[in-house]
Amino acid sequence: MKKIPKSHPRYASLVTREKLVEGVKLGVTAMQGLIAHGRGETFDYILGEKTRDFALKAERAAVALMLLAKHPVISVNGNTAVLVPEETKKLAELVNAKVEINVFHHTPERVEKIKNYLERYGIEVLAAGDAELEGLESARRIVDSRGILIADVVLVPLEDGDRCEILKRHGKKVIAVDLNPLSRTARMADITIVDNIIRAFPKMVEMAEEMRDWEKGRLREIVEKYDNSKVLAEAVDGIVEYLKKVKGELLNP
Ligand code: PTJ
């Protein structure tokens, strides 16, 4: 991986890009994953590149929902695999979730590469591809009968709009991580975390460490009080406020 000087003002962003480029070279991340990341970066930029209050609210509700679930599953694609492998392992252990590979740009070879990549981090990965999600035409329909097929809660980071609706039709609760609060997935999910996955997952690990011993009633209260439409509206407000702040700085330097 290319060495980035730590003093660079955009160090974190450049390191993230390098991880994805490396992921493409390894055959783990799809080329399209680079484009998707670019879109994500743009939204991150106009959100101030910080985990905002609306994201913290969604992250807390997501952890509570996973801790309450019978069969929670973290669905991993080529971007998630290279950006947050360690945190995926920790989060899965803390909330007792399965980790399943589910990709849009599907080939058996690519799934195998992602599996091997995640196993190097000590993650037990589901990728049997022995079942199908009815109602979905894309390759995301290919699932594992021990994972997404029987899951009651599915965490879907960096998703491309076609699966969330179907997962919900199958009676599952969906948690999305998507920097774009306007996306179809963001609007369809039960809980949408409008935050960069590289900040969201570490934060959720921290929360899960604290919340795993909480009483179920306390967790249920968090989930019941959560309102995704309100959180998405707050994210849109967050963008507007940030842009107004920058506008003010430009006019009054
Ligand atoms: O590995 P595969 O084959 O499953 O393909 C994965 C990609 C990401 C290529 C595929 O799912 C795709 O094309 O996704 P989209 O339609 O580009 O949507 C991805 C969403 O994730 C966009 O709304 C981005 O804003 C958002 N996003 C990108 N990077 C991040 C992000 N959200 C949070 N954190 C990020 N780092």
Query: Which residue's entry shows tokens 């939204």?
Result: 43
Distance, in Å, from the CA atom of 101 to the CA atom of 119, rounded to the nearest integer, reads 12
Distance, in Å, from the CA atom of 192 to the CA atom of 172, rounded to the nearest integer, reads 15
The pLDDT value recorded for residue 13 is 87
Please report whether residue 4 resides in a domain: no
Does residue 78's CB lie within 6 angstroms of at least one atom of ligand 1?
yes
Res 161 pLDDT > 90? no
Res 2 pLDDT > 80? no
The domain total for the chain is 1
Distance 64 CA to ligand 1 centre (A): 24
Domain that holds residue 91: 53-236
- Stronger pLDDT, 4 or 22, i.e. the higher one: 22
pLDDT above 90 as % of the chain: 93
Mean per-residue pLDDT over the chain, rounded: 96
Q: Domain containing 57 — which CATH number?
A: 3.40.50.12640
Probe residue for ligand 1, chosen from 52, 140, 158, 160 as the CB with the greatest number of ligand atoms within 8 Å: 158
Does residue 104's CB lie within 6 angstroms of at least one atom of ligand 1?
yes
The pLDDT value recorded for residue 121 is 98
Distance 229 CA to ligand 1 centre (A): 21
Please report whether residue 105 resides in a domain: yes
Please report whether residue 228 resides in a domain: yes
Q: How far apart are the first and last CA of the chain?
A: 38
The pLDDT value recorded for residue 160 is 79
Neighbours of 42 (CB within 10 A): 12
Distance 214 CA to ligand 1 centre (A): 33
Mean pLDDT, residues 187-194 taken together: 97
Please report whether residue 2 resides in a domain: no
Res 223 pLDDT > 80? yes
Please report whether residue 45 resides in a domain: no
- Type of residue numbered 77: N
Please report whether residue 241 resides in a domain: no
